[in-house]
Amino acid sequence: MLLHWSPRSPFVRKVMVFAHETGLAERITTTRTPVAMLKPHLDLMAENPLSKIPTLRLEDGSVLYDSYVICEYLDTLQDGPRLIPAEGPARFTELRRHALATGFLDLLILWRNERDRAQPLPALMDAFAVKTQAALAAVEAEIDAVPRGLAQFTLAVLGSYLDFRFADLDWRAGCPRFAAFHAEFEKRPSMQATLVTEG
Amino acid sequence: MLLHWSPRSPFVRKVMVFAHETGLAERITTTRTPVAMLKPHLDLMAENPLSKIPTLRLEDGSVLYDSYVICEYLDTLQDGPRLIPAEGPARFTELRRHALATGFLDLLILWRNERDRAQPLPALMDAFAVKTQAALAAVEAEIDAVPRGLAQFTLAVLGSYLDFRFADLDWRAGCPRFAAFHAEFEKRPSMQATLVTEG
């Protein structure tokens, strides 16, 4: 399998953490495919017209995206316990928590884009800040109940993304449980193998 | 079930089309919850800290989001054939097509926000236009192969959203098959029951 990859995309990292946690990382070849909001990647767009990564090409030539779809596919290839529960309340709790973590990342990426503009809209910057505090509080409230699985991995990547792009936020100050979870989880080989680099 | 709803959100409409197509619409009570990028909705944020709709409150008080998660949940409540295939290649094709349609909607919403700013970034406006053409071409290439299901419903909502917010694009010009699909699908009761209104 070929994964369109870059070292700093949190959504790519989520997929790679999932692959490492499931022992599938060796089956994935990565190709560096930098994407940016301002620069559509024309080669990538032949496989994913939205010009987004991660995008995964399977051995039969078919293509999967987005990061959720790729992780669910990887979950079907592995032999261990499912990391996205197959059904019932456990599945929907997992998916809702994953949507929280993923939507939070989407918000942070938009916030960063706004922050970098010549004239950020003050009301929009304020809205991002308010939602971020609410999302952090929601993560803090339930982090200790999150089992090993896709949502947990995404929350770990989220913590690292906050460190990487929003160090000023000092997110740990109001989130001792999330901070403790993150400190422990980031020691895992899956996180160590996928460290964000400036390179 | 209580759905945080607004008449113009394409993601809300997707959920409501799904509910109508599965005979579940009568089990959903809607409450009008207007959200905007610039104005976090504080009451909604108690249930979804990201301040996004659709957000669904179940009878036991638990909450589901985003629109994909809600549709998958609704699919488990209905008696007909699954509208999101449960497994195998059919599932991943459905999910990838759904990701195309949903990611396309995300792109259009960002494009619209950019267009409405005092000083849109030309490079960003160009990037949205390029991706939109690529995404339309991708939809056109496979629309005739898309079976009844979540991806199909989302593509129908997408066509209507293009009409509503991007009439200038004249998307039908290069997409005769997508246009024919849309013309037929929009006659369905599920689409007629969820018409976008300015109200």
H-helix segments, chain A: 10-21, 42-45, 67-77, 88-115, 122-142, 150-165, 176-185, 189-192
* pLDDT the model gives residue B63: 98
Question: For residues B50 and B104, is the Cβ–Cβ distance under 8 A?
Answer: no
Does domain A2-77 match CATH 3.40.30.10? Answer: yes
End-to-end CA distance of chain A: 24
* pLDDT the model gives residue B196: 87
**Could you say which architecture CATH assigns to the domain A88-192?**
Up-down Bundle (1.20)
Give the gap in angstroms from C-alpha B57 to the nearest C-alpha of chain A. 12
Q: What DSSP string describes B112-136?
A: HHHHTSSS--HHHHHHHHHHHHHHH
Give the gap in angstroms from C-alpha A69 to the nearest C-alpha of chain B. 6
* Residues on chain A bordering chain B, Cβ-to-Cβ distance under 8 angstroms: 37-40, 45, 49-52, 62-66, 68-69, 72-73, 76, 87, 89, 92-93, 95-96, 99-100, 103-104, 107, 117, 119, 121, 123-124, 127, 130-131, 134-135, 137-138
Q: What is the mean pLDDT of each run of 10 residues along chain B (199 residues)?
A: 97 98 98 94 97 97 98 97 97 98 98 96 98 98 98 98 97 98 98 85
* pLDDT the model gives residue B199: 53
Question: For residues B4 and B46, is the Cβ–Cβ distance under 8 A?
Answer: no
H-helix segments, chain B: 10-21, 42-45, 67-77, 88-115, 122-142, 150-165, 176-185, 189-192
End-to-end CA distance of chain B: 24
**Pairing mode of beta strands A2-5, A29-32:** parallel
Question: Using a CB-CB distance cutoff of 8 angstroms, which residues of chain B are in contact with residue A68?
Answer: 68, 95, 99
Strands, sheet with A29-32, edge to edge from the N-terminal-most edge strand = A29-32, A2-5, A55-57, A63-64
Q: What is the pLDDT of residues A137-167, one digit of tens each?
A: 999 999 999 999 999 999 999 999 999 999 9
Q: Which of B96, B103, B119 sits opposite A52 (nearest CB)?
A: B103
* pLDDT the model gives residue B57: 98
Which pair of tokens denotes residue B111? 């494009």
Domains A2-77 and A88-192 share a fold: no
The chain B residue lying nearest A125, using CA atoms, is: B38
* pLDDT the model gives residue A196: 87
pLDDT over 70 at A198, yes or no: no
Q: Which of B49, B76, B89 sits opposite A131 (nearest CB)?
A: B49
Contact A66 B107 (CB under 8 A): no
Contact A95 B69 (CB under 8 A): yes
Q: What is the pLDDT of residues A62-111, one digit of tens each?
A: 999 999 999 999 999 999 999 999 999 999 999 999 999 999 999 999 99
Question: For residues B36 and A70, is the Cβ–Cβ distance under 8 A?
Answer: no
Cα–Cα distance for residue pair A174/B186, rounded to 1 Å = 49
Contact A103 B66 (CB under 8 A): yes
Contact A65 B127 (CB under 8 A): no
Question: Using a CB-CB distance cutoff of 8 angstroms, which residues of chain A are in contact with residue B95?
Answer: 64, 68-69, 72
3-state secondary structure (DSSP) of residue A5: strand
Cα separations (Å) of B161 from A193, B105, B152, B194?
42, 8, 14, 12
Give the gap in angstroms from C-alpha B53 to the nearest C-alpha of chain A. 12
What values do phi and psi take at A44, rounded to 5?
Answer: -60, -35
Those residues with Cβ within 8 angstroms of residue A32's Cβ, 6 or more apart along the chain or in another chain = A5, A6, A7
Domain ranges of chain B: 2-77, 88-192
ipTM of the complex: 0.97
How many CB atoms sit inside 10 A of residue A183's CB?
11
Interface contacts (A, B; CB < 8 Å): 111
Which pair of tokens denotes residue A50? 């939205």
Q: Which of B63, B100, B107 sits opposite A96 (nearest CB)?
A: B63
Task: Kindly indicate the confidence band of residue A199, based on its pLDDT and cuts at 50, 70 and 90.
Answer: low
